[in-house]
Amino acid sequence: MSIDPRVVKDELIQIYPKKLRQKRSEQIVVTQKGEGGSVPEIKANVRTSPGIITQRGCTYAGCKGVVIGPSRDILSITHGPIGCAFYSWLTRRNQTRPATLEDPNYINYCLSTDMQEENIVFGGEKKLKAAIREAAQLFKPKAIALFSTCPVGLIGDDVHAVARELKEELGINIFGFSCEGYRGVSQSAGHHIANNGVFKNVVGLNETPHPEKFKVNVLGEYNIGGDGFVIEELLTRCGIKQISTFSGNSTYDTMANAHTADLNLIMCHRSINYVAEMMEKRFGIPWMKINFIGADATAKSLRRLGEYFEDDALKARIEEVIAEEQEKVSGIREAVKARCTGKTAMLFVGGSRAHHYQQLFKDIGMKVLAAGYEFGHRDDYEGRKVLPTVKVDADSKNIEEIDVVPDPVRFRPRRTAERIEQMEAMTEMEFRDYVGMMPEMDDDTLVIDDLSQHESDRLLEMYRPDIFCAGIKEKFGVQKMGIPCKQLHSYDYGGPYAGFRGAINFYKDIDRMVNMKYASFLTPPWAAQEKEAQQAAAD
């Protein structure tokens, strides 16, 4: 590609007013690895300027929509006017599979207090309480979660007090989330609030023991398109017990039981790292960043589990599973690679997917030209090593940081500090770490945080990549340009994309998209003839 990314960067931001231009210039970085693999600093997790057409959503979306929503038997009640509940109703494709027809499953229900003007003027707590009582009577849930929307915080309804009162009255677990949409700069604030709430109100309440030798939680896996099913199936085949996910296909009981695991695996670092850290401090469970997106990445992640549990039989089983699966993958990968090599991709989505999916493109010989997160932080780009230098601004300060101390009874370090250090030295394993997106990107590619519609349109005009990955709001504008757009939130209603089976699905989907025929029919024959005639006349 002969395009100079530095020129592109200038081109993207020149239209902005001065202050905005300055800010955006710090959020757009040309990758260049320095000494010891260092990467340039990027500005992230900062406000989107008003008037900018952004991909981002709100705190409520991150809390209810992303983290808590996927759990099927926590009954979610949205406290607010109707819209927020409506828009977060089944739109994220969190698959769930109750074991029997009798098991509770609230995922297809949308519950709201549908606040009206009088509730705004006179307060909505009374209506919220009545709604909880009605919900408890109709659904008989074990747990109810309450989610605050924008006006709730402003009028001063106290969802936590209501939760305490009704918990007492009804004898079931009820907890609230102050996830008003305006609280953060993106969904990210909502993830943090959800992590805090789940940790405080759910984790550790179920002591059911498990006889299995190897027990893990998979955190930050929401079972979109069935990814979580694939991962659990792989773990099971290897002989590893998955206690809970946070939170795809999870239940209240599995999350409450999560502290009985011996290792936390982190898929989406951005949305879930908080609860992993808190569980380590309180219960002594180490956490490890893994990645089940991509066949090789999946193999590597599984091998790390073998190393962690230090069990030869487990290691052998893992190798068997990997060998079996890789054989299925390799033929298809080679065939797809032959058709896709040299093609180009861009990924602008989420807080982990824009990183994870780069591997899948590399697997089939495609080059990533540019990438960025919608709501990532600096550590998601540059790695957690920058955490001590990240400035905490006013928008992050208003989110509670829970002071966690070891549980007097249940704190049990699964590995000693020395053993963890030894493991890190001897293997490729890193605990409590995430290297971030940028160290794994080629030099002279573009990394753009919180990509705007204007930047996206210009980027596509200049580079014309073979595929663009983003979300539903971006998809059809991209496709009008003749460039296929893969949704990486909803997978275009396909998937799963995780694990070996998922990699095959992804390779096939990308093959289909970058080699489609319809875009070559853009020009009707009469227009082509006219163009030819003009060309002939000019010659």
Partner 1 sequence: MLLRHTSSEVMERSALTINPAKTCQPIGAMYAALGLHNCLPHSHGSQGCCAYHRSTLTRHYKEPVMAATSSFTEGASVFGGQANLLQAITTIFGVYNPDVIAVHTTCLSETIGDDLVQIIAKARSEGKIPEGKHVIHCNTPSYQGSHVTGFASMTKAFVTYFADPQAEKTQAINIVPGWVEPSDMRELKALAKQMGVEVILYPDTSDVMDTPYTGKHDFYPKGGVTVERVQASGGSAATIGLGLSASSPAVEALQSKCAVPGTMLELPIGLQGTDRFIDTLHKLAGVEVPQEITDERGRLLDLISDMHQYVHGKRVALFGDPDQLVALTEFLTLLDMKPLYLVTGTPTPQFEARVRKALGGNTPEAKIKAGAQADMYLLHQWIKNEGVDLLIGNTYGKYIARDEDIPFLRFGFPILDRVGHSYFPSVGYKGAMRLVEKILSLFMDRQDRDALEERFELTM
Closest CB to partner 1 among 183 and 333?
Answer: 183
- Which amino acid type is present at position 534? Q
Contact positions with partner 1 (CB under 8 A) in 163-182: 180-182
Catalytic site includes residue 503: no
- Is 120 a binding residue for partner 1 by CB under 8 A? The answer is yes
Angle at 173 between CA 167 and CA 175, to 5 degrees: 80
Of these, 11, 40, 104, 404, which contacts partner 1 (CB under 8 A)? 104
In SS3 terms, 210-274 reads as CCCCCEEEEEEECCECCHHHHHHHHHHHHCCEEEEEEECCCCHHHHHCHHHCCEEEECCHHHHHH
- Is 57 a binding residue for partner 1 by CB under 8 A? The answer is yes
- Is 112 a binding residue for partner 1 by CB under 8 A? The answer is yes
Instruction: Identify whether the C-beta of residue 141 lies closer than 8 Å to the C-beta of residue 135.
Output: yes
- Contact region for partner 1 (CB under 8 A) — 114-122, 279-287, 360-368, 410-418? 114-122
Nearest approach, Cβ of residue 82 and partner 1 (Å): 5
Closest CB to partner 1 among 252 and 292?
Answer: 252
DSSP bridge partners of 78: 112, 147
- Is 52 a binding residue for partner 1 by CB under 8 A? The answer is yes
442-467 b/e (C-beta count within 10 Å ≥ 16 → b): eeebbbbbbbbeebbbbbbeebebbb
Closest CB to partner 1 among 139 and 431?
Answer: 139
CA distance 48 to 70: 27
Instruction: Identify whether the C-beta of residue 470 lies closer than 8 Å to the C-beta of residue 485.
Output: yes
- Is 17 a binding residue for partner 1 by CB under 8 A? The answer is yes
The gap between the terminal CA atoms of the chain, to the nearest Å, is 30
- The backbone region for 290, taken as left when phi is positive above 0, alpha when psi lies in -120 to 50, beta otherwise, is beta
Size of residue set near partner 1 by CB under 8 A: 93
Nearest approach, Cβ of residue 471 and partner 1 (Å): 8
Catalytic site includes residue 61: yes
CA distances from 58 to 90, 157, 378 (A): 17, 20, 19
- Contact region for partner 1 (CB under 8 A) — 183-191, 286-294, 302-310, 332-340? 183-191
Contact positions with partner 1 (CB under 8 A) in 420-459: 453-454, 457
- Contact region for partner 1 (CB under 8 A) — 253-261, 327-335, 362-370, 393-401? 393-401
Nearest approach, Cβ of residue 231 and partner 1 (Å): 24
Q: Could you tell me how far CA 450 lies from the centroid of its own chain?
A: 15
Q: Could you tell me how far CA 463 lies from the centroid of its own chain?
A: 27
Q: Which of 183, 191, 192, 356 is catalytic?
A: 191
Q: Which of 44, 56, 61, 72 is catalytic?
A: 61
Q: Which of 24, 44, 56, 58 is catalytic?
A: 58
- Is 516 a binding residue for partner 1 by CB under 8 A? The answer is no
CA distance 34 to 40: 8
- Contact region for partner 1 (CB under 8 A) — 218-226, 394-402, 409-417, 497-505? 394-402
Looking at residue 442, the DSSP 8-state letter turns out to be: P
CA distances from 22 to 15, 49, 51, 76, 449 (A): 12, 12, 16, 42, 14
Q: What's the chain's length in residues? A: 539
- Is 151 a binding residue for partner 1 by CB under 8 A? The answer is yes
Of these, 9, 93, 183, 270, which contacts partner 1 (CB under 8 A)? 183
Of these, 341, 482, 529, 532, which contacts partner 1 (CB under 8 A)? 482
Say which residue the tokens 């210009």 belong to: 458
Catalytic site includes residue 161: no
- Is 54 a binding residue for partner 1 by CB under 8 A? The answer is yes
Per-residue binding string, partner 1, 60-99, x by CB under 8 A, is xx---------------x--xxxxxxxxxxxx--------
- Is 111 a binding residue for partner 1 by CB under 8 A? The answer is yes
Phi, psi of 270 (to 5 degrees): -60, -45
Catalytic site includes residue 72: no
Q: Which residues are catalytically annotated?
A: 58, 61, 92, 191
